[in-house]
Amino acid sequence: MKLRTARHKPDPRSMRTRTDDAHAAPQPPLPPDETMTSESIQSRIKRVIVDCLMLEGLAPEEIGDEQALFGEGLGLDSVDALELVLGLEAEFGIKVKSDEMDRTAFNSVTSLAGFVEGQMAKAEAARASET
């Protein structure tokens, strides 16, 4: 075993470099569908919040753009934030690094929309620089 001391930086690796010969398991997220962009980012975020956090009985449109998502507002917590990131990654084709998980981005749907737009722009820039 090669021992490490702290400060080691692993090589940057692509997220998926091998095709999975899998089965009935959940499939990788589809890239964002262009036809869906007519739906606002805000309403897509609300849909992701309800679906992926299993908020049964809550309709997406009941969530206000400025409503606090955590604490007193919708009552979400840190694990919800992590689960929500997975949902947003799948919905918007973005990849959020652990050190980019800015707490303030999760204040409301509006702040999340800003965060997602930033991430999408970054992903777009990364794709452009690759080609």
Partner 1 sequence: MRSDLVVTGLGTIGPHGAGVEALAAGLAQSRVVRCEVDQSPAWHPAQPARFAGRVDPAQLKPWIDAAKARRQSLPSRLAVAAGRMAFEDAGLERAARAGRDVAVSLGTAFGPNDFTAKLLDQIAGAGPQSASPFLFMESVANAHAGQVALDSELRGANITVVQREASGLLALIQGAACFDDGACELALVGMVDEMGSLTHGMLDQYAALSRGAAGGGELGRAFDAGRDGFFAAEGATLLVLERASDAAARGARVRARITGAVRANDPSAPRTDWGSGVAHLSAALARGMQRHGLSPADFDAVVSGASGSRRGDWLEAQVLKRVLGAEALPTVLAPKATLGEFGGGFLGAAILALSSPFGPTPGFESIDPELGIRPHDGRELAPPQRLLVSSLAAGGAAAWLFVDAP
Partner 2 sequence: MGAVTPYGLGVDAFAQGLASGQAAIGDVELFSTELHRTHIAGEVALDLEAALPDLAPAHRRRLSRSDTFGLVAAREALDQARARELATQAGLFLGSSTGGMFEGESFYWDLRQPGARRPRVSRIASQQHNGPTDAVARALGFGGPVVTLSSACSAATMALEAALRSLRSGEVDLALAGGADSLCQLTYAGFNALRAVDEEVCRPFQASRAGLSLGEGAGVLVLETAEHAAARGARVLATFAGAGSSCDAHHMTAPDEDGAGLALALEKALADARLAPEAIGLVNAHGTATPLNDAAEWKGLERVFGTRLAEIAVMATKGSVGHLLGACGGVEAIASILALARGKLPPAPNPGPLDAECPAGLAHGGERALSLPCAALSVNLAFGGANAAVVFRSAASPASEGAG
Q: Least distance in Å: CB of 7 to partner 1?
A: 24
Structure tokens at 32: 């964002």
CA-to-CA distance for 94 and 129, rounded, in angstroms?
16
Residues lying near partner 1 in the complex (CB under 8 A) are found at 15-16, 20, 22-29, 53-57, 75, 79, 82-83, 86, 90
Q: Least distance in Å: CB of 79 to partner 2?
A: 6
Structure tokens at 9: 């930086």
Q: Which is nearer to partner 2, 17 or 131 (CB)?
A: 17
CA-to-CA distance for 94 and 29, rounded, in angstroms?
10
Q: Least distance in Å: CB of 116 to partner 1?
A: 18
CB 109 within 8 A of CB 74: no
DSSP state of 54: T
9 binds, among partner 2, partner 1, none (CB under 5 to 8 A by kind): partner 2
Residues lying near partner 2 in the complex (CB under 8 A) are found at 1-10, 13, 15-18, 21-25, 77-79, 82, 86, 98-99, 101
Q: Which is nearer to partner 1, 110 or 122 (CB)?
A: 122
Phi, psi of 84 (to 5 degrees): -65, -40
